[in-house]
Structure formats: structure tokens, C-alpha cells
Structure 1
């Protein structure tokens, strides 16, 4: 398929006189187009659900989630991966992002890097990819050579594979075990896939990481109970979470926060079950760090 035939390259009829629009008209037009993205994502939820099932199982089996992409797609993968450790207290190795062109491409476009098939293999080898991992290829066009090569290599060594693209019949889809094709329609500016296509990818990545972390027990009553209190704001948030989830007083939250060595999840379990830190640690280990299951067991004993 010629590049000009791709869904991501089509001209939006409503943009024919875009240069004549006022600022007010432009922002209203862009906003209308953006509102269609969530509807497009809704159409691929069954595939997203399958992928989340795989990512959860992957982590439980001591594997890793690795996003690989180029340009906007690559940056979105790195963004999602980098936000998981402070939000959910996971090891930075658990969810990783790889971008064509390396770290320089995060801040400055390295457009030629997306054509290097060898670089993708080398990058995955540098990350010591193994058959326990899952590699998720990100490419709005569904045909980026760097990403295609990465998925082919991942499949060759036995890793699970998935893809997220914004075209129908993507080349990536023919390789990936789970293929997500979210069709957002022509961009406001033809070919500018950082807009609706990028937004769709971001929404799906949010779902993957968030749903995975919830399934792994890192959220309780809507709160991020594995948050890392690494600054003043996060310390306050941590104590607030303890107070709200256990319905204790501010002073009680402060006291158990200290006793738990500033570990929010353990503090909650200690407060609800009247446990020592050691007892909370044993119970969480028994339930693979899943707080809701640990609390359920604790409540049964009362």
C-alpha cells in the first residue's frame, strides 16, 4: 500500500479552508475532531482487554512490558513507562519504553532512525529481551520498519507480541499476536499523526498500564496505594490516602505512616488489621502484594 493510501495520511474534507479560520473557529474544530477519538478507542476495547490479560500474566510470571516505537509513538511509550514507578511503586524495569534513535530522540526528532531494522534488534538485545516479556509495537502508520523489525525479533525469541496502530490492515497486525487498529479518521492537518492518532495511542497506553496495575493490586478504593512519597507533596498524599482508606484520624495516619516506614499499602493493612509491619509484610507476600485480597483475609480473621 502506498503511504498516501494510509488512513493516517488522508485529507480531512473539513480542513479545506482551514487557513481561513479564525483562532476561535480553529480551536472549536480541533476540539470537535478530538472528541471522536474516545469513540474510536471504544471500538477496539475487546482487543485492549485481551492485551491487558496478557500484560497482567506477563508481570505475574516475572516478565516485563516493553513498548517500542519511533517518533511520537515512541515518546508516548516512554512517557507511559516512566510514569509507572512513581505512581505505582514498581521497579523501573517492569515497564520500559524503547524509541528509535535512543534518548536523543525523546527531545529532538531523529526521523531517519525509524528506518533502521537492525537498530531495533540491537536495542531489544541491549534490554536483554527474553521469552517471558511482552513487546508492544507502537506505530500510527502500522508499517514503521524499526517497529516491524522489533516485533519480528521478539516473536523469534518467543516473547509475546502486540501492536497499536491507526490504520486498517496494518503490517504490524500481521506479525503481532494481539493487534489493535484504532481508526481515528483523517487528521485536522493531513498526516500529522501526533494529533488524533497520538491521542488514541495515549488513551490505550493509559488503559494498559492502569488496568494492569489495578489487577496486580496496586490500587485500593481508587487510590494509588503504592505511591512513592519522594517529595513533600507525595508525603501529604500518602498520609491522606491512609486516612481516607482506613477512616482513621490525621494523627493516626501520621503514626502508622511512620511505623510502616512510609509504605502506604502496608500502613493501610496495619491500620485496618491492627497488625505489625512484619505481619503486614507476611500477609502481602502471601497474596502476591495484592492489597484487596490481603485485607479480605485479614477481615475474615476478625
Structure 2
């Protein structure tokens, strides 16, 4: 199953005039567009003309059956085929607009008067009542646009999955670099403690038992080794990387699980940095957190 992004756009149109023939005087066309962006849940909004308002429940059911997450907006508009021309406004409509404007200004004296463009637009909207029955055409057109939207979300999801796979590879490489550093640091610290033990024995001039001083040095070396041991963090980090890769191969509704795993990755990288006893480990931790933050930004867009 593909990985789907929550970001996408699609549009569709339906014309009422016959192909190759002269458009009827009252022919209209329906234009529909649907767009989506990321959201924690499925959030639908509709902007429909009055002729299509009754179809909103059916359109809502259609979208919820195919999409699970995202802020989705569906817009539709019905226009005359000769939308570029300016029809003569009917006198009765102009009179009605003038009456309404006077009524509004009686209550709102500061209201801006209607412009010529406003009057033409309102008159065209009032007179552009289509004889076309959209009850079957609009759902079919919406389904076409919805399928195109899903295809667009799949293409974007494929790009996001490829980016995440690339970051997974870089994180694995950094984890492999961090693993061998810990034994080296422990050995360096053990030698340092042994040197301190020898110096302490030379200064003590026999007043301290050699066994006690050596035990203290070994205890401090052991405590240091435990404090900087990041093997557990690296193991958990590798486990999270494996799970993310498995989810990307599985596809489907994986956005929320990916978001949780990204938080766990960030926690392990932070712990790795807090246990750092060398500049190289600190650099690895910082590089990891940069990559994880890049992944977090993209995971927010996955369904």
C-alpha cells in the first residue's frame, strides 16, 4: 500500500454544451476543485453554490470513505458558458439592489456603496440560474476529482517516503560510528585512573594500602564506564529505525505511528548527547537530532 501525503490538489469540470455545436443560450458548466493540507484529524469544509447545497451530505460521505486525515476543502462553482461576456442587468434586479442598499445604509450609515462591478456581479449571480440537473453530474465529477487528489497525495507520499528512507540510512551510519567510540573511551579512562593510582601510591609513601587504592581506581573506572555506556540507547534507536522502515514499506495510515516513533528517536538522541564524554559523540548526537528534526517536519504531512 502506498504512503499518502495529506497535501494535494485536484480539479474537474463539466460543460453542458454539446461538443462541436453551438452552446445553448442557458448552457452552464460546473467547475469543482478539492485541496487538502495536513491536519491531526479529517477536517472537511465545503463552498458550494445554492444549487448544490443539498448534495453536501453525499459529498461528505464520499470523502470520508476515502480519506482519513487532512484538512480538506471542496469548492464548486456554476458558470455560464459565455462567462466572458457582460449581460445587461435587468432593471428589476437593479431596483431590488438599490432598495436593499438603502435598507442596509439605514442601519449601517458607514457601509460602502455598491460599485458598478459589485452590481454587475450580483445581477449576473441572480440571473444565472441553470436549468441543468446537477444531482448526478456533481457527485460523479467530485469522485473524479477525489481520485485525482488521492493520486496526487500518493505521488507526494512517495517523495516523502524516499526522503525518510534517506534519513534512516544516515541515522544508521551515525549509530554505527557511535558504537565503537564507547569502548575506546572506557579504555582511555581506565588507563587514566591507573596513572592516577600510581601517582597516588608514590605520594602516599606507604600510608595507603595498595589494594585499597587500586580498588578505588577500579571502582571509579567502572562507574565511569556505566555512566557513558550508550549501547542501550543505540540498540533502542536501531529498533525504532527498523520499525519506521517497516511502516514505510507497509504504507497506509501510518502518520500517527511515525510521529510517535520520531519522538522516541529524539529522546534517544538526547540521551546519547547527555552521556557524551567526547567531542565526537557530541557531534554525532547533534547530527542525529538535525536529521530527526527534518524527519519530524515531513512526517507531519503523512496521512
For Structure 1 versus Structure 2, the TM-score category normalised by the shorter chain is: under 0.3
After TM superposition, the score normalised by the length of structure 1 is 0.25
Give the structure with the larger helix fraction: 2
TM-score (norm 2): 0.25
Which one has more relative contact order, counting CA pairs under 8 Å at least 6 apart?
Answer: 2
Q: Which protein is bigger by CA-based radius of gyration?
A: 2
